[in-house]
Amino acid sequence: MSDIGNWNEAANELDAIVASFDEGEVSVDDLFVKLERATLIIETLESRLDATKAKVDELAPRLAKVTEGE
Amino acid sequence: MSDEGLSNETVHEVGEFYQLLTAQLESAFGRRHPHWVRGEIAKVYEKSHMYVDLVDAGSTSSDSKRPVLNAHCWATQWAPLKRKLASEGVTLSPGVIVNFYGYVDVYAPQGKIGFTITQVDVQGLLGDVARRRQELIARLASEGLIDANKKVSISPVPLRVGLVASPGTEGYSDFTGQLLRSGYGFEIVLVKTAVQGEAAPQQIVAAVETLDRDGVDIICLVRGGGSKGDLAAFDDERVARAIAACSTAVFTGIGHTGDESVADLVAHTRAITPTKLGEEIAALVDSWHRRHVRLPAQKVLDATNELLDEATEYAAERRRTMIFAVRDRLRSEQRHLGAQRGQLLVHSRHLLSSTAQALASARQLLGAYDPSKRLAQGWSIVTTSDGGVVRSLDDVALGDSVRVLVSDGSFDSTVSEKNGAPS
């Protein structure tokens, strides 16, 4: 697993990168480094999300069975 | 009585006497002429025929002189009468005040003058039953027993159900069927009892007490529909008191819609039929299951889906944002470089232009100093033998050979004299 920390830590870092772009603070020299880091974070988050969705898809029918009639 | 008297009087044999007596009675009442007789039942005995001792209402057995009417109802008439009474929930028992319709008879073998019953005033008896029922209810109310069991708290999930019923009856099947069909894991602790007849009340009382000790969640008294007589056990005072004294909530499902027994009044919860009672208990469990299991599960499911949707949207939005941010940043740099490139071009052109202009000026200036033009004007250029231009007298010595350049050629000469310029 990549060293991006937990979801919130990774999301905070990603938000900070996006903010630095919004504020025009990124130099061309830093651009690739930041883009690479942001891509890594996004891909890792999406990968975690897919894994979580797969687990939820497995559990959801069982939970849905409990909620039948609602 | 004197012997003389005896000789003048007719002496009857016993049988003859009874015949005479019967004739006299029939003369007085008419042969088998019916009459209504009201009285309180002092004793009742049944063996195919029904025998009852009727006394004046309110009289006491200690009164040795109280009149007693030995009444009886022969089996052929008693059987249908008994069925009718039973269907109305009426039992002929000591203490009941009843109107009998019948006729006087004499039964010589036992030396009895009796009363043959042909009808019973059922309506009157019903009124009496209703009155006694109301008296029982009033008594229970005055003792605070109507609401006693209603104050008992019940388990929020009454899955362990004590059942007082008769297996194989419709009421039993209706009730248990509802619990089984509910899908919940009810445990039914059954105590079999008769649910009608004389033995029923005592059996029901014992069953209620047994289940109360057993620690079931609730106790259900179940009995399907029937005549008032069939349901009479549930109007019994002993049953009512057992329910009131029970520390477990007692639920009833007795009879059909419209039937309301004393047991129903005293019970914690009353359903109109066994089926309804099953439904209501299943609904109690279902309600708990809904509140504590299904709704929380649904909330978890909804929250999970919402969180996943948010997270998915977040990741997608960040991906889009990064792409646009980087593209914007690169375009900005491209624009900046483009602007600089343009400026550089302008500056270069300007520089070239000014350089060309300077060159032209120089060229023009240089033209002014073209030696050929000077030579054409008559000027000449003198150079020494080594090619140096003679600019001063000091550049040559007398006798030096020099070359003189003119517009159309040159010629050589020798320095023979040097003359300084006039001051």
With residue B25 as reference, give the H or E element that holds it. helix B14-29
Q: How far apart are the first and last CA of chain B?
A: 230
Name the token pair of B105. 């008879």
Partner residue opposite A42 with nearest CB, options B298, B308, B319: B319
Please state the domain extents for chain A. Answer: 7-66
The pLDDT, as a whole number, for residue B7 is 66
> Both tokens of residue B204?
């029901």
Q: Which residue among A49, A63, A68 places its CB closest to the CB of B312?
A: A49
Q: Is A38 on the interface with B (CB under 8 A)?
A: yes
Nearest CB to B322: which of A18, A67, A70? A18
B318/A18 touch (CB, cutoff 8 Å), yes or no: yes
Q: Which two tokens stand for residue B233?
A: 């056990």
In 10 A of CB B56, how many CB atoms?
15
Model confidence over A56-67: pLDDT tens digits? 899 888 888 888
Sign of the CA dihedral with B99 first, then B101, B104, and B110 last: negative
Quote the tokens at residue B173: 């099947």
pTM: 0.60
Contact present, B233 and B226 (Cβ < 8 Å)? no
| Contact (CB, 8 A) for B84 and B103 | no
SS3 string, B33-61, reads CCEEEEEEEEEEEEECEEEEEEECCCCCC
> Can you tell me whether residue B133 is helix, strand or coil?
helix
> B12-133, superfamily in CATH?
Nucleic acid-binding proteins (2.40.50.140)
Tokens of B413: 């000469």
Q: B84: burial class by Cβ within 10 Å (0-12, 13-18, 19+)?
A: middle
Q: Which long-range contacts (CB under 8 A, 24 or more apart) does B1-5 make?
A: none
Pick the closest to residue B25 from B83, B126, B85, B108 (CA basis): B108
Q: Specify the length of chain A in residues.
A: 70
pLDDT of residue B369: 80
Over the stretch A6-19, which tens digit does the pLDDT of each residue have?
Answer: 999 999 999 999 99
Which of A24, A28, A66 is nearest residue B294 as measured by Cβ atoms? A66
Q: Which fold has domain B144-288?
A: Rossmann fold (3.40.50)
CA distances from B96 to B50, B69, B101, B205 (A): 15, 15, 16, 23
Place of tokens 């929020």: B156
CB B212, CB B248: distance < 8 Å: yes
Count how many Cα atoms sit within 13 Å of the Cα of residue B102 in the half-sphere of its side chain: 23
Chain A residue closest in CA terms to B300 = A63
Give B4-18 pLDDT, tens digit per residue: 556 678 888 998 998
φ/ψ of B260, rounded to 5, equals -135, 110
Q: Looking at beta carbons, which residues of chain A come within 8 Å of B305?
A: 56, 60
Alpha helices, DSSP H, located in B215-261: 237-245
Rg over alpha carbons for chain B, rounded to the nearest Å, is: 69
Please tell me the predicted confidence (pLDDT) of residue B10.
83
Contacts of B313 in chain A (CB under 8 A): none
The beta-strand segments (E) located in B193-331 are 218-223, 249-254, 269-271
This model of the complex carries an ipTM of 0.87
Residue B212, sorted as left (phi over 0), alpha (psi -120 to 50) or beta, turns out to be alpha
Judge whether B308 is closer than 8 Å to chain A, CB to CB: yes
Kindly state whether A64 is in contact with chain B, defined as any CB-CB distance less than 8 angstroms: yes
Domains in chain B: boundaries: 12-133, 144-288
Query: E strands, B308-363, where?
Result: none
Say yes or no for a CB contact (<8 Å) between B326 and A31. Answer: yes
Q: Do A56 and B308 touch (CB under 8 A)?
A: yes
pLDDT, tens digit (0-9, with 9 covering 90-100), for A39-60: 999 999 999 999 999 998 998 8
Question: Is B118 in contact with B71 (CB distance < 8 Å)?
Answer: no
Q: Within the 7-26 window of chain A, which residues sit less than 8 Å (CB to CB) from chain B?
A: 7, 11, 14-15, 17-18, 21-22, 24, 26
Q: Look at A60 and B322 and tell me if their CB atoms are within 8 Å.
A: no
From the list B212, B272, B273, B216, the residue with the least C-alpha distance to B243 is B212
Structure tokens at B5: 């008297």
For residue A45, list chain B residues with Cβ-Cβ distance below 8 A.
311, 314-315, 318
CA distances from A10 to A30, B317, B328 (A): 19, 15, 23
Tell me which of B326, B328, B335 to substitute to probe the interface with A (most A C-beta atoms closer than 10 Å): B326
The verdict on A40 touching B (C-beta cutoff 8 Å) is no
Q: Contact at 8 Å (CB) between B211 and B189?
A: yes
- Alpha carbons A19 and A13: distance in angstroms, whole number: 10
User: How many whole angstroms separate alpha carbon B164 and alpha carbon B160?
Assistant: 13
User: Rounded to 5 degrees, what angle do the CA atoms B304, B310, B312 make?
Assistant: 100
Is B340 within 8 Å of chain A by CB? no
**In a mutagenesis test of the A interface, which of B294, B305, B310 is the best target, namely the one with the most A β-carbons within 10 Å?**
B294
Do B144-288 and B12-133 fall under one CATH topology?
no
pLDDT in tens, B64-123: 788 899 999 999 999 998 888 887 777 788 778 889 999 988 888 888 889 999 999 877
Q: What is the pLDDT along chain B (423 residues), one digit of tens a residue?
A: 445 556 678 888 998 998 888 888 888 888 888 989 988 888 899 989 999 998 887 777 777 788 899 999 999 999 998 888 887 777 788 778 889 999 988 888 888 889 999 999 877 777 777 788 889 999 999 999 999 999 999 988 999 999 999 999 999 999 999 999 999 999 999 999 999 888 999 999 999 999 999 999 999 999 998 777 778 899 999 999 999 999 999 999 998 877 789 999 999 999 999 999 999 999 999 999 999 999 999 999 999 999 999 999 999 999 999 999 888 888 888 998 899 999 999 999 999 999 999 999 998 888 878 888 888 889 899 999 999 999 999 999 999 999 999 999 999 999 999 988 776
What integer pLDDT is reported at residue B1 of this predicted model?
47
Question: How far apart, in whole angstroms, are the C-alpha atoms of residue B198 and residue B233?
Answer: 8
